[in-house]
Structure 1
Amino acid sequence: MNATSLDSLREQVRGQIITPGDSDFDAARAVHNGMIDKRPAAVVRVSQVADVIACVNFARDNSLDLAIRGGGHSVPGFGTWDDALVIDFVNTSGIRVDPAARTARTEAGATWGDFNHATHAFGLATTGGIVGTTGVAGLTLGGGIGYLARKHGLSCDNLLSADVVTADGKFLTASERENEDLFWALRGGGGNFGVVTSLEFRLHPVDMVHAGIIIYPMEHAETVAKFYRDHIDSAPEELSAFLAFALGPPVPFLPEEWHGKPVVAVIGMWTGDQAEGPSRWKPFLDVAPVVGSMVGPMPYPALNQAFDPLVPKGLQGYWKADFLAELSDGAIAAHLEHGSKVPSVQSVVHVYPIDGAVHRVGSSETAFANRDMKFAPIVAGLWPDPADNEANIAWVKAYAAALRPYSAPGGYINFMDGDDLPRVAENYGPNYARLRDIKAKYDPQNLFHVNQNIAPA
């Protein structure tokens, strides 16, 4: 891209355009995963929808790759790309809450920390992620698994509408009443269909929760895992908890001798009557010896951001994921073998429950098709030193391979890495053909391909 053509873009946008010659280029091109080292042609920190339209038209007319960045948490680094034009929403994170209607509209650059801060002021929330720095838009477009999923469904199940700039530069609103096919595809289909500039969500009464972070020695992992599996299956949907394999984190409620030691944990919250909170966590406190715990009332945003200090921007990252119809004894055995070898305090393995409200949406009602799965495990390799890349990537791959015989064919696209692109069709299962048709309608030339890509039919 030459300077003359870039000057024409500068005349059309009000946001900042950062190019390789600028002093802040290295900061502008960086995403959350420190392993990603891409050099885009330009990063445009858009200020409004008009900037987005100009960027889409410019990339299309100049045959440029186009990367879209909300929170920048894409593990494959899809928020940046070599020689591409990057649309960066870092400066657009406004949120408007309507407490009477119990809805909120957010711009595409907001994180879940931003969103929860805005909605908590009214005692409201919707399903977000597990880490507060994750972008609202990216998580939602891929589905959106989080603490509130059992009670209130996925993030995409709570999406009421979205504003989208399509490949032809048109501005559309997608909802149950307008552009219904696009709305269907956005709820799980990722960033394949356009640039989402704002999202409107349904909110639920969620204020103080009774949180639980309970840590056990790894030697009791089998007992804990089997109890967790059986207990969560019959627990009220107000109890949302996931199983974790990790190294003991440096937190005040865990004795120092357990820092960096292999542990198993149960983490989550009770959103029902707060008086019931202690009794809801007592079975987890009694099932096996506990080396550290924090159980008690907490504002929902505080739990949603509790792990942010452990995952700062710049860590090396490599992830793998599948879905489980059941947390079988074989799957638990694989977790015991590889969960005891977690290589860094930042690396974690989480097994998220996706039953309850998630199952009350039909598999063909949204692009997210995996509505008969009970668990979504993630093997999230995160570590600070690039010298450890080879060994830690090998650990992630071996762990994922050990789980594969007990897993469904597809996986959760928000947890997929760059080498998982061949799995896109199986990730969407019976919805893939319809997604390809909608892709062909809204993006026939595949302008939006820097993602877990759905090829146009």
Structure 2
Amino acid sequence: MSAALDFFKTMDFNPTLDIGSSPPSHLQSLISSNPNIKIYTRTSPHFDPLKSIWNLKYASNEPLALIRPTNVSEVSTIVKFCVANDLPLAVRSGGHDLFGRSIVPDAVILDIRELNSIKLSDDEKTVVIGGGIQTGDLVNFLDAKGLVTPASLAGIVGWAGWAFAGGFGPLVNAYGLGVDQIVSARIVTSDGGVKEADPELLWGIKGAGGAFGVITELMIRVHPLTKMLGGMVLFQFDQAGKVIEEVQKILGTETVPKELCIGVHFSKRGGAPMLSMAFSWVSEDIEEGRTWLERIKGLGNVMMDMVIESKFLPLVFHLHRH
């Protein structure tokens, strides 16, 4: 697991350094009445690392403060305070929101990355996860149990935010989208109330995610899997049209096994453009998967075959590094 994942899983907190001697006046009453809540103001040495996000277009955004709750009660306290004092509040986990909504200028940022618990059910069919769990931590935990759940290929992405955006990844044909894995949810609403989502609210959460409140806990489905095929097949750029057309014919006219998942995008390697095809075979029947792999490779001139037999965990980080 990367150092970045370990660094942000928990964060040291020193009130003298992180709150500072002159914290924002808006937060004085919250600070004085809740001395154990981790509040990082702009003078904190941890402020800039904590506010870093994926889309650098918004990297210069300066929130009022970042607050890292360690339990649901603290989330409730922070939400109540912001609503009562008319302070803008944004929630972040992995910080990969495309439009920078997890790092809003002059807002209180509720950084839920320390809500990262994982508990496996006795029947090993579900796990209960904290709303701030990072993909890498979840995949790593499940890997040790011989289990998987649909997830992003990037370990530093927050699982919940990824799932609420639909949750597409290499396991979805076999098991469904990330959002399809959600069985139940605990949410802190705008009045600070903590509730278990009823069927109607759960339906809404699956479509709109955090629009209904702060998701602090989810129960999600998990699935047994100890080996699969996955990786990239790189084709010559000038054959992209032909390869994509042939893939569309296969997907449109044949009964394709649900274990097969293919994604296509363009990339560069060594400065040269090429067609990159993400190939996943989500089954322990590796030989059938290799048959499909060879068929896909036969659609054009292959520059490089990076598909490997692996468990899901090494595949996640193998693809992310490239």
Q: Which TM-score tier does this pair reach, normalised by the shorter chain? A: 0.7 to 0.9
**Count of residues in Structure 1 that have an aligned counterpart in Structure 2:** 296
- Kindly indicate whether residue 170 of structure 2 is the aligned counterpart of residue 133 of structure 1: no
String of CA shifts for 1:37-78, please: whole Å, max 9, x gaps: 211111001111111001100110111111000111111111
String of CA shifts for 1:257-305, please: whole Å, max 9, x gaps: xx22100021121123123222120111211111111233111122223
**Aligned equivalent of 1:299:** 311
| Residues 1:238 and 1:28: Cα distance change in structure 2 (over 3 Å) | same
- Kindly indicate whether residue 44 of structure 2 is the aligned counterpart of residue 22 of structure 1: yes
Q: Is the Cα contact below 8 Å between 1:99 and 1:122 reproduced in 2?
A: no
Q: What is the CA–CA distance in structure 2 between the aligned matches of 1:28 and 1:300, rounded to whole Å?
A: 28
| Deviation of 1:14 (Å) | 2.9
RMSD between aligned residues: 1.8
- Kindly indicate whether residue 275 of structure 2 is the aligned counterpart of residue 264 of structure 1: yes
- Equivalence map 1:440-455=2 (5 Å): none
Partner residue of 2:218 out of 193, 199, 206? 199
**Aligned equivalent of 1:9:** 30
Partner residue of 1:283 out of 277, 295, 310? 295
Task: Tell me the secondary structure at the aligned position of residue 45 of structure 2.
Answer: coil
Q: Provide the TM-score with structure 1 as the length reference.
A: 0.62
Q: What is the CA–CA distance in structure 1 between the aligned matches of 2:126 and 2:190, rounded to whole Å?
A: 28
Q: What is the CA–CA distance in structure 1 between the aligned matches of 2:307 and 2:119, rounded to whole Å?
A: 32
- Kindly indicate whether residue 57 of structure 2 is the aligned counterpart of residue 45 of structure 1: no
Q: What is the CA–CA distance in structure 2 between the aligned matches of 1:97 and 1:268, rounded to whole Å?
A: 29
Task: Tell me the secondary structure at the aligned position of residue 232 of structure 1.
Answer: helix
Q: What is the CA–CA distance in structure 2 between the aligned matches of 1:246 and 1:142, rounded to whole Å?
A: 24
What amino acid sits opposite 1:46 in the alignment? P
Q: What is the CA–CA distance in structure 1 between the aligned matches of 2:250 and 2:317, rounded to whole Å?
A: 26
| Deviation of 1:99 (Å) | 5.6
Q: Is the Cα contact below 8 Å between 2:164 and 2:179 reproduced in 1?
A: yes
Task: Tell me the secondary structure at the aligned position of residue 192 of structure 1.
Answer: helix
**Percent identity of the aligned residues?**
28
| Residues 1:31 and 1:242: Cα distance change in structure 2 (over 3 Å) | same
- Kindly indicate whether residue 236 of structure 2 is the aligned counterpart of residue 217 of structure 1: yes
Q: Is the Cα contact below 8 Å between 2:233 and 2:279 reproduced in 1?
A: no
**Aligned equivalent of 2:112:** 89
| Deviation of 1:188 (Å) | 2.4
| Deviation of 1:209 (Å) | 0.7
What amino acid sits opposite 1:285 in the alignment? K
| Residues 1:194 and 1:110: Cα distance change in structure 2 (over 3 Å) | same
Task: Tell me the secondary structure at the aligned position of residue 189 of structure 1.
Answer: helix
**Aligned equivalent of 1:149:** 172
Task: Tell me the secondary structure at the aligned position of residue 9 of structure 1.
Answer: helix
Q: What is the CA–CA distance in structure 2 between the aligned matches of 1:128 and 1:157, rounded to whole Å?
A: 12
- Equivalence map 1:92-171=2 (5 Å): 92-98=115-121, 100-171=123-194
Q: What is the CA–CA distance in structure 1 between the aligned matches of 2:319 and 2:298, rounded to whole Å?
A: 25
| Residues 1:290 and 1:58: Cα distance change in structure 2 (over 3 Å) | same
**Aligned equivalent of 1:308:** 320
| Residues 1:2 and 1:118: Cα distance change in structure 2 (over 3 Å) | closer
Q: What is the CA–CA distance in structure 2 between the aligned matches of 1:261 and 1:290, rounded to whole Å?
A: 14
Partner residue of 1:73 out of 83, 96, 102? 96
Q: What is the CA–CA distance in structure 2 between the aligned matches of 1:15 and 1:219, rounded to whole Å?
A: 57
| Residues 1:245 and 1:210: Cα distance change in structure 2 (over 3 Å) | same
| Residues 1:13 and 1:100: Cα distance change in structure 2 (over 3 Å) | farther
Task: Tell me the secondary structure at the aligned position of residue 243 of structure 1.
Answer: strand
- Equivalence map 1:321-340=2 (5 Å): none
296-305 or 42-51, which deviates more:
296-305
**Aligned equivalent of 1:400:** none
Gaps of 5+ in 2: 1-21
- Equivalence map 1:231-270=2 (5 Å): 231-233=250-252, 234=254, 235-248=256-269, 259-270=270-281
- Kindly indicate whether residue 193 of structure 2 is the aligned counterpart of residue 182 of structure 1: no
String of CA shifts for 1:303-324, please: whole Å, max 9, x gaps: 22333335xxxxxxxxxxxxxx
Q: Is the Cα contact below 8 Å between 2:168 and 2:178 reproduced in 1?
A: yes
| Residues 1:29 and 1:275: Cα distance change in structure 2 (over 3 Å) | same
